[in-house]
Amino acid sequence: MMPKAPILLMAPLVLFAHSLMPVPAKLQPGVGRLRIDQNFAFVQLTGYREPRLEAAAARLVEDVARKTGIPMRPGVGLHAPSAALIVYCDHAGTAVQSAQEDESYRLTVTAVGARLDAPNPLGVLRGMATFLQLVDLDSSGFGVPAVTIEDHPRFPWRGLMLDVARHWIPLADVKRTLDGMAAVKLNVFHWHLSENQGFRVESKLFPKLQELGSDGEYYTQDQVREVIAYARDRGIRVIPEFDLPGHATAWFVGYPELASGPGPYQIERQWGIFDPAMDPSREETYQFLDAFIGEMAALFPDEYFHIGGDEVNGKQWDANPRIQEYMRAQGIKSNEALQAYFTRRVQAIVAKHGKKMIGWDEVLTPDMPSSILVQSWRGPKALADAARQGVSGILSNGYYLDLGYSAAYHYAVDPLGEAAANLTPEQKQRVLGGEACMWSEFVTPELLDVRVWPRMAAIAERFWSPQNVTDVADMYRRLEAVSRDLEGLGLTHVFEYEKMLERLAGGSAAAPVRTLAAVVEPVKDYAREAAHPYDKFTPLNRLIDAARPDSETVRRFAALVDHMSAANMPQIRAYLTEWRDNQARLAPVLENSALLAEDEELSANLAAMAQAGLEALDRLQNGPPRDPAWIAEKRALLDRAKQPKAELLLSVEPAIRKLIESAQ
Amino acid sequence: MMPKAPILLMAPLVLFAHSLMPVPAKLQPGVGRLRIDQNFAFVQLTGYREPRLEAAAARLVEDVARKTGIPMRPGVGLHAPSAALIVYCDHAGTAVQSAQEDESYRLTVTAVGARLDAPNPLGVLRGMATFLQLVDLDSSGFGVPAVTIEDHPRFPWRGLMLDVARHWIPLADVKRTLDGMAAVKLNVFHWHLSENQGFRVESKLFPKLQELGSDGEYYTQDQVREVIAYARDRGIRVIPEFDLPGHATAWFVGYPELASGPGPYQIERQWGIFDPAMDPSREETYQFLDAFIGEMAALFPDEYFHIGGDEVNGKQWDANPRIQEYMRAQGIKSNEALQAYFTRRVQAIVAKHGKKMIGWDEVLTPDMPSSILVQSWRGPKALADAARQGVSGILSNGYYLDLGYSAAYHYAVDPLGEAAANLTPEQKQRVLGGEACMWSEFVTPELLDVRVWPRMAAIAERFWSPQNVTDVADMYRRLEAVSRDLEGLGLTHVFEYEKMLERLAGGSAAAPVRTLAAVVEPVKDYAREAAHPYDKFTPLNRLIDAARPDSETVRRFAALVDHMSAANMPQIRAYLTEWRDNQARLAPVLENSALLAEDEELSANLAAMAQAGLEALDRLQNGPPRDPAWIAEKRALLDRAKQPKAELLLSVEPAIRKLIESAQ
């Protein structure tokens, strides 16, 4: 019954408007549709079996039930004799998930059944994620369109780094994040566990790390094991990061002797780069790290261990005569060389405990063994340098989720782009993939999903799908679908956003706040820090905190302006009228909300721009040509209105500018 | 610093537009406002201390932080020396929370601090719920308006019955429900644990009850203890109900010998009233119940134990010659008398295990001891009869959340209304309060919050607040605020509603679905069962399942029509235009959604009614008088349009009718 697909097409978006994200490597549309109703019997596991597969099958049944609202009959679900989705897994995976494991699968759906084949459990998990995304509703009911998919990832390393140290992220939020990651086929959860602002894991050998360095906000070792098992069930590796020798103030609260400067230390409450750094000149530092890394290497099964290594400013080393004397005695000429010396010592400790070391760009020095892995926050050039040196790397530069960039911006970044594009094929093999980074200066549990999702899904596609899958409009179309799917799985990026807007409205009608929020986006890069004093206790409850880097409203409006016609002018007018009139509707809300007061000018600018856009539209539809003075005045208005206010940009400005320029 | 309030006013809604629900017994507005920012230091516990109070204080800090988005500094929260909310608890409560316990509190807020005084921990919990509701945002920031509140409940028994048997409700959903209950000062969680469709608690003595009677969907005894502890922490009693002798098919799957008819039995999958009933003629039945009730009485600490007792049709008794013979031998003349005999035996067993029995109306017979409690599903007359007989009772008739009635409908029902209003003061004391009932034929975990909230809050006010608090418009104003607060606490009635509408839209724009959903309401009473075949596996994913019994949109529109003026006519026109035009916007969505197809006529009727409303508005604003033929035609249209379609009513029909009639 299962036809072999004769010819497979690359990313056949035109033929078949599926909503898969990431786009599979090969997809061949079929004929017909597999119906899913309350009599649908799935899923039957065949071939190699293990508890992870049983759990995945049970989750799939539950997820399909939740997506469709169709309950499954007891006994008709798992192991049904007439299963409508038959899964064949050829063999077991590795005991500890590795970056080399095969994640490929083949999924065939016809009108009468579906079959998922994979060499090992990881492929089954990926194929099930695809099946769940394929479930949709049409005029005949819920079902899955007939299709043959042969799929495998482009990169073996597809990750998300989550900083749980600057702001604490509780266990439930971590698990929810893993649910989202699995849905878009990510496979590495990089857990940034220590920082100046907190040490987040229980150490039984050095309990003062968490007792004095965490405000009580840390994971017990049992909880760590729970997260690792939860992640493994979803085909996700867990890599811990303990940032050394800088970013380590929280360690020094309990163990000041590790630091290069005199104590005592307190948990850091500010954001930024700070002076405290471990003392590379004392053998006791390495003894401590040997014991500590040994303890953590036993707790975290992954073959990689991340030691950070970024942003040491060297001031404590400069100021410590004993360290200066040590450098002279050892012939170490610079702080960079001192850090390199420290990193080699730490690398040896990591290797002794059976792990491969990962570090940020700074750890790459000419004499590092090629077993290490470089995570580049600086850019593709560092990756290319590493690859030429025989060292593997992953890209994070361009994938920082905290910097307010759009999904399209991140989507355009390729781990094999820029400097890495010129590598030899062999060198390119050393670029293993990438990781998005969620640094948490501006992230609380409430904001986590709002910041990570749905943009993370677009980056996941970059890591998984063929390099030529680059259509931004189609990406956004599918991103809307995957965003709904993610909410269905329990992610809260829409829910929390709405609740934040309700809070901003303070009991007044939230609709005008929603209208304003839909056309603003955050300032980019590190402009937030520059605009406002922030620390750990600054409330993150302003419009800038809710603001999305991607606005569906602005995309729709810009598309109308880009393809302006008599037919779509009424829609353009409706948008502009709504924005012009929103000022009056928002006024009583602004008046009663201390949180919104700062956004008054933004709202006024939106109204003024919209009024100018309406004047331009009048001209285009039936008016006399606008004189140069009008244009000059409107340009000046737009130039003013595009300036950041309250850390926000009016993202609708370019489209309105285009409209106004076209009225000339 | 804490002024004594000299004069306290009853429900001073006009003086002070607070959003408290339930309204406190006495409230005196003060001058000024207590500011809440990141330096706010609370809460300090004084007087009697216990872990429950520490936990409550920690939750309050967390809830205020979540409501405001303001993080609390470590060490500045609990036990801060300069606490801004000082709590004084006089003494301990009872070891097991009882219906007689004092729940009163006094809360005084000034611009410089707040003080909460209560005789015992329950009052502290109620006062903290009030404090949290008082936190709001104004032009100066977050804070609490100065106020003095002296509060206590009108009724000691304020409950929610949740049927977890017909549809299974997992532990997390139960806990979330308890969070919501605590927020509106409810104090009884009545857990309907067994039914024809499922037996939901682990019995260690009779394991086949859950093994064969639950499809694996039951609470372990550890989970039951977890819920009881969770509830106690929130000032809520947990009363189990095991429904006897009818509604018990699920028991008979594992223990067919308990039944009056021959087995074997299967878990019931249909809804309705069924024949199987326990055999009152065999001593083994009572021996089983003695052991079982003994086990459950030890598991559930509350002094009350609910044995159901409703809806026995007697057919199995009629058909069993041995039972007929037993009745003759014992001189039992009717099935009612046989059930009364059974109930007296069960009551003796319940009493032997140290509990007071609760049952539905049917258990009240003249020879019942006055220690029992009657829960009336039939109406106030049963309560009045019980009270005259010296038996206490609680009202559930009028508070069935599954029947599609509005908050206003339930709000108008008073436990001391109708027949109970004529009781003597002493008899009235026997009406202890009421319980809302959430029967779960049409409730899944996804739908639970959509069905319970926010209406439950209005009923909670009926149980707590003075009898003269009856202003429906003000109730709805406050209900909107409490609904937002509940979402902030993690309830999902808005979130799941939105997700259901997205599902109905099936990937198309959800906005026109939202517009239609906002003006429909479910059919009432038991009309759903009559309209459509339902059983346990029927998908509950249609518009009727999402539909809210209360429409904010319809209330606003109706208020505009009720107070029609030149000033509000543009708003009326805007609503009508949106509804008229929604038909065209919804058409492409309807076409692609098998779930929505049944709602096409509803949408067409809405458009036609809106068009008629617009014509009426034209007449009112500037047109010629409408002729009688026009009126007759529109009346006919309205008569058609108000008929149920797809189990839904167009709730906007009466307001449009009023508009049209006024155009005559």
Q: How many helices (H) and strands (E) does chain A have?
A: 25, 20
Q: What confidence score (pLDDT) does residue B214 get?
A: 97
Q: Using CA atoms, how far apart are residues A178 and A186, in angstroms rounded to an integer?
A: 9
E strand or H helix that includes residue B189: strand B188-192
> How far does the CA of residue A504 sit from the closest CA of chain B (Å)?
8
Contact A228, A303 (CB under 8 A): no
Q: B476 to chain A: which residues are within 8 Å by CB?
A: none
The β-bridge partners of B188 are: B159, B237
Angle at B567 between CA B565 and CA B572, to 5 degrees: 75
Share of chain A above pLDDT 90, in %: 90
Provide the pLDDT confidence category of residue A6 given band limits of 50, 70 and 90: very low
Q: Using CA atoms, how far apart are residues B345 and A146, in angstroms rounded to an integer?
A: 62
Average pLDDT over residues A179-207: 98
Q: Using CA atoms, how far apart are residues A233 and B401, in angstroms rounded to an integer?
A: 39
> How far does the CA of residue B496 sit from the closest CA of chain A (Å)?
9
Q: Do B507 and A137 touch (CB under 8 A)?
A: yes
Question: Whose CA is closest to A242, among A203, A287, A283, A185?
Answer: A203
Q: B545 to chain A: which residues are within 8 Å by CB?
A: 69
Q: What confidence score (pLDDT) does residue B137 get?
A: 96
DSSP state of B230: H
Q: Do B539 and A70 touch (CB under 8 A)?
A: yes
Q: Do A136 and B506 touch (CB under 8 A)?
A: yes
> How far does the CA of residue A228 sit from the closest CA of chain B (Å)?
22
Provide the pLDDT confidence category of residue B492 given band limits of 50, 70 and 90: very high
For tokens 């590790």, name the residue: A258
Q: What confidence score (pLDDT) does residue A75 get?
A: 55
Q: What confidence score (pLDDT) does residue B313 get?
A: 93
Q: What confidence score (pLDDT) does residue B257 get?
A: 98
Taking only Cα atoms into account, the Rg of chain A, rounded to an integer number of angstroms, comes to 27
Half-sphere exposure of A79 (CA within 13 A, CB side): 6
Q: Using CA atoms, how far apart are residues B651 and B187, in angstroms rounded to an integer?
A: 33
Q: What confidence score (pLDDT) does residue A4 get?
A: 39
Share of chain A above pLDDT 70, in %: 96
Q: What confidence score (pLDDT) does residue A663 get?
A: 84
Average pLDDT over residues B26-30: 96
Torsion angle of the four alpha carbons A599, A600, A602, A607, in this order, in degrees rounded to the nearest 10: 140
Q: What confidence score (pLDDT) does residue B626 get?
A: 78
Provide the pLDDT confidence category of residue A532 given band limits of 50, 70 and 90: confident
Token output for B281: 């003629």
Going A508 to A512 to A515 to A517, the CA torsion angle's sign is negative
Q: Using CA atoms, how far apart are residues A332 and A312, in angstroms rounded to an integer?
A: 16
**Residue of A137, A538, A541, A599 for testing the chain B interface, max B β-carbons within 10 Å:** A137
Q: Which of B69, B137, B597 sits opposite A593 (nearest CB)?
A: B137
CB of B216 less than 8 A from some CB of A = yes
Q: What confidence score (pLDDT) does residue A287 get?
A: 98
Question: Whose CA is closest to A86, among A55, A52, A127, A126?
Answer: A127
Q: Using CA atoms, how far apart are residues A571 and A493, in angstroms rounded to an integer?
A: 28
Distances in Å between the Cα of B489 and the Cα atoms of B56, B180, B354 are 14, 7, 37
Angle at A661 between CA A660 and CA A662, to 5 degrees: 90
* Model pLDDT for residues A229-277, shown as the tens digit of each residue: 999 999 999 999 999 999 999 999 999 999 999 989 999 999 999 999 9
Which chain B residue has its CA at the smallest distance from A489's CA? Answer: B499
Torsion angle of the four alpha carbons B479, B480, B481, B482, in this order, in degrees rounded to the nearest 10: 50
Q: Using CA atoms, how far apart are residues B458 and B629, in angstroms rounded to an integer?
A: 43
Q: Using CA atoms, how far apart are residues A171 and A188, in angstroms rounded to an integer?
A: 17
E strand or H helix that includes residue B393: strand B392-395
Residue B8 has pLDDT above 60, yes or no: no
Specify the higher pLDDT residue, A357 or A17.
A357
Q: B503 to chain A: which residues are within 8 Å by CB?
A: 67-69, 137, 488
CB of A598 less than 8 A from some CB of B = no
Which chain A residue has its CA at the smallest distance from B137's CA? Answer: A506
Residue B287 has pLDDT above 80, yes or no: yes
Q: Using CA atoms, how far apart are residues A592 and A158, in angstroms rounded to an integer?
A: 46
Give yes or no: A311 in active site: yes
E strand or H helix that includes residue A576: helix A569-591
Provide the pLDDT confidence category of residue A173 given band limits of 50, 70 and 90: very high
Q: Using CA atoms, how far apart are residues A308 and A287, in angstroms rounded to an integer?
A: 19
**Residue of B73, B137, B173, B450 for testing the chain A interface, max A β-carbons within 10 Å:** B137
CB of B539 less than 8 A from some CB of A = yes
Q: What confidence score (pLDDT) does residue B92 get?
A: 97
Residue A74 has pLDDT above 80, yes or no: no
Provide the pLDDT confidence category of residue A7 given band limits of 50, 70 and 90: very low
> How far does the CA of residue B499 sit from the closest CA of chain A (Å)?
7
Residue B625 has pLDDT above 90, yes or no: no
What residues of chain B, 72 to 101, have a C-beta less than 8 Å from chain A? Answer: 73-74
Residue B621 has pLDDT above 90, yes or no: no
Instruction: Give the strand pairing for B188-192 and B237-244.
Output: parallel
Residue B1 has pLDDT above 50, yes or no: no
Angle at B453 between CA B452 and CA B456, to 5 degrees: 75
Specify the amino acid at residue A398.
G
Contact A627, A508 (CB under 8 A): no
Contact B28, B146 (CB under 8 A): no
Q: Using CA atoms, how far apart are residues A184 and A365, in angstroms rounded to an integer?
A: 35
CB of B494 less than 8 A from some CB of A = yes
Token output for A39: 């009599």
**Distance from the first to the final alpha carbon of chain A:** 63
Q: Using CA atoms, how far apart are residues B542 and B599, in angstroms rounded to an integer?
A: 9
DSSP state of A332: -
Which chain A residue has its CA at the smallest distance from B38's CA? Answer: A537
* Model pLDDT for residues A498-531, shown as the tens digit of each residue: 999 999 999 999 999 999 999 999 999 999 988 8
Q: What confidence score (pLDDT) does residue A484 get?
A: 95
SS3 state at A219 = strand
Average pLDDT over residues B221-250: 98
Residue B504 has pLDDT above 90, yes or no: yes
Contact B36, B76 (CB under 8 A): no
Average pLDDT over residues A134-160: 97
Q: What confidence score (pLDDT) does residue B248 get?
A: 97
SS3 state at B252 = helix
Q: How high is the ipTM of this complex?
A: 0.92
Q: Using CA atoms, how far apart are residues A648 and A636, in angstroms rounded to an integer?
A: 19
CB of B365 less than 8 A from some CB of A = no
Average pLDDT over residues A541-562: 96
Torsion angle of the four alpha carbons B221, B227, B229, B233, in this order, in degrees rounded to the nearest 10: 180
Q: What confidence score (pLDDT) does residue B74 get?
A: 61
Q: What confidence score (pLDDT) does residue B77 get?
A: 47
DSSP, residue by residue, A234-278: TT-EEEEEEEESSS-HHHHHH-GGGBSS--------B-S--S--B
Residue B592 has pLDDT above 60, yes or no: yes
Taking only Cα atoms into account, the Rg of chain B, rounded to an integer number of angstroms, comes to 27
Least confident residue range of A219-223, A557-561, B128-132, B532-536: B532-536
Share of chain B above pLDDT 90, in %: 90
Token output for B375: 């829960």
Angle between helices B472-488 and B51-68 (to 10 degrees): 100
